Structure 1
Amino acid sequence: MTIVSGKIEPLKRLKEILHSHGIYRFNSIGDINAFLKQYESEKKNISTKVKHSTDDEIKDLEEALNSTIEMRDKNIFTKLLYYSKAKKLIKNHASLINNYEAVLSQRSSDSYRKLKFIKETVEGLSSVIAGAVGENAVVSELKKLSDEYYLINDFSLKFNPPIFNKRENDTIYSIQIDHLLVCQSGIFVIETKNWSSKSIEDLDLRSPVKQVKRASFALFVFLNSDNSQGLIGNHWGRKKIPIKNIIIMTNKAPKTDFQHVKVLSLDKLNGYIQYFADIFDEAETEKIFTYLKDEIL
């Protein structure tokens, strides 16, 4: 199985956003999907759940109160020690009993509001969730390759000094790549898009082709510059490290072909990668992977 380093960026960002809103109940996209699917059912069960939890709270208070009163009435010393605790328990117990229906109503309303807030927050993150779903699917597919393949998720680099692309008149200070696959045939820069047909036609969305080519150019210059001299070499001289560019469309894909960038559906990904001939041995491949992993921001 492919050796994997790093977590996908959308999933990390999704958790950060949810946590910033005080939502900690989700550990995966599966948890979120299950919540949305079961939302109406969970909403209907709120009153019953609140009643059970309140009844349990009353029962716990009664047990704690009986225990405290028993300790309080042992002697003069324990009477002073447990007096305040018993008084507080009596007050809390009486408050729940005397205001039982009002407490149930208030707690149910609070639970409804909290549940609705979670649902609205999650639905507002649909684009982030879609990105996480798409990238997770790509990672799962790439994991099917052998352990001669190395995958770095959410690969980021800063350049100092920056890299200048003369043809595009572009000064590149940093790059971020969804998935970087290192193998014996070279390096694959993989960008994932879980776009609908409408998104593909949206001219306001940033072109993933330009995005991949920009990152690929900077990475090629970085890896094959004098700064990385000696990374991969043989008796003829230093080997260049080739980079191939892939965009995986996990939903809809454009019908157009693009220069220097291969646009593929998920089911074609591994076959395309395995098509290329090896140019590095296992030790060289691992060396490239280690070098890149150590350079991550």
Structure 2
Amino acid sequence: MTIVSGKIEPLKRLKETLHSHGIYRFNSISDINAFLKQYESEKKDIPATVKHSTDIEIKDLEEASSNAIKLRDKNILTKFLYYFKARKLIRSHASLVNNYEAVLSRRSSDSYRKLELIKETVEGLYPLIAGAVGENAVVGELQKLSDKYYLINDFSLKFDPPIFNKRENDRIYSIQIDHLLVCQSGLFVLETKNWSSKSIEDLDLRSPVEQIKRASFALFVFLNGDNSQGLIQNHWGSKKIPIKNIIVMTNKAPKSDFQHVKVLPLDKLNGYIKYFEEIFDEVETENIFNYLKDETL
């Protein structure tokens, strides 16, 4: 199985956004999907759930107040220590019992509002969720490769001074790559898009082709430039580290071909990667991986 380093970026951002809204119940995309499927059922169960939790609270308060009263009446010292605690517990218990129906109604209403807020927040984060779903699928597919393959998720670098792309007149200060695969045939820069046909035709969306070419250029210069000091040494000199660019479309895919960038559906990904001839041995491959893993932000 492929050796994996790092978490996918959309999933990290998704969790951070959910936490900023006070939502901590989701640990994975599967949890979110399950919530959306079971939303109506969970909403329907709210009155029974609230009643059950309130009944348990009443029972616990009754038991706690009874114990506090026994300790209060034990002797003079404990009377002083437990007098206010017993009174507070008795009042809390009485308040719940005497206002039972009103409490159930208020708590049910609060639960409805919280559940609706969670649903609205999750639905509003659909682009992030779609991105996380797509990247998670790509990671799952790449993990089917052998342990001679190394995957770095959410790979990013900063450059100081920036790398200058003369052809594009572009100074590159940083790059971020969805997935960087290191293997004996070189490096594969992978950008994942879980796009619909409408998104593919949307002129307002940034071209993933230009995005991946820009990152690949900077990474190639970083690894093979004059300042790299030759990461892979050979008795003939420093070996170049080739980089190939792949855009993985986990939903719809464009019909066009693009120069220097391969666009693939998910089920063709591993076959394309394994097509290329090995040029590094296992030690060299691991060295490249460790070097890049240490360099990433």
TM-score between the two structures when normalised by the length of structure 2: 0.99
2:280 partner amino acid: F
Bigger Cα displacement from structure 2, 254-263 vs 71-80 = 71-80
Q: Match of 1:161?
A: 161
Aligned length: 297
Deviation at 1:230, TM superposition (A): 2.8
Q: Deviations for 1:225-255, whole angstroms, at most 9, x for unmatched residues?
A: 1222131121111111110000000000000
Q: Match of 2:267?
A: 267
Bigger Cα displacement from structure 2, 31-40 vs 79-88 = 79-88
CA distance in 1, matches of 2:233, 2:74: 85
Secondary structure of the residue aligned to 1:293 is helix
Deviation at 1:80, TM superposition (A): 1.8
Deviation at 1:20, TM superposition (A): 0.6
Q: Match of 1:64?
A: 64
CA distance in 1, matches of 2:83, 2:289: 67
Identity across matched positions, percent: 84
Bigger Cα displacement from structure 2, 38-47 vs 229-238 = 229-238
The answer to whether the Cα contact below 8 Å between 2:7 and 2:153 also exists between their aligned partners in 1 is yes
Deviation at 1:68, TM superposition (A): 1.1
Deviation at 1:77, TM superposition (A): 2.3
Deviation at 1:72, TM superposition (A): 1.4
CA distance in 1, matches of 2:266, 2:76: 77
Query: Matches of residues 186-265 of structure 1 in structure 2 within 5 Å?
Result: 186-265=186-265
Deviation at 1:276, TM superposition (A): 0.2
Q: Match of 2:280?
A: 280
Deviation at 1:165, TM superposition (A): 0.7
CA distance in 2, matches of 1:181, 1:130: 22
Secondary structure of the residue aligned to 1:233 is strand
1:146 partner amino acid: S
Bigger Cα displacement from structure 2, 70-79 vs 204-213 = 70-79
1:171 partner amino acid: R
CA distance in 2, matches of 1:75, 1:255: 86
- Over aligned residue pairs, what C-alpha RMSD do you find? 0.7
Deviation at 1:78, TM superposition (A): 1.9
CA distance in 1, matches of 2:87, 2:290: 65
Q: Deviations for 1:6-62, whole angstroms, at most 9, x for unmatched residues?
A: 000000000000001110000000000000000000000001100111111110111
Query: Matches of residues 68-83 of structure 1 in structure 2 within 5 Å?
Result: 68-83=68-83
The answer to whether the Cα contact below 8 Å between 2:224 and 2:230 also exists between their aligned partners in 1 is no
Q: Match of 1:142?
A: 142
Q: Match of 2:37?
A: 37
CA distance in 1, matches of 2:128, 2:7: 15
Bigger Cα displacement from structure 2, 223-232 vs 16-25 = 223-232
| Greater than 3 Å deviation, 4+ residue runs | none
CA distance in 1, matches of 2:77, 2:291: 70
TM-score between the two structures when normalised by the length of structure 1: 0.99
Secondary structure of the residue aligned to 1:38 is helix
CA distance in 2, matches of 1:159, 1:87: 65
Q: Deviations for 1:97-119, whole angstroms, at most 9, x for unmatched residues?
A: 11111111110011000000000
Q: Match of 2:104?
A: 104
2:167 partner amino acid: R
CA distance in 1, matches of 2:76, 2:223: 81
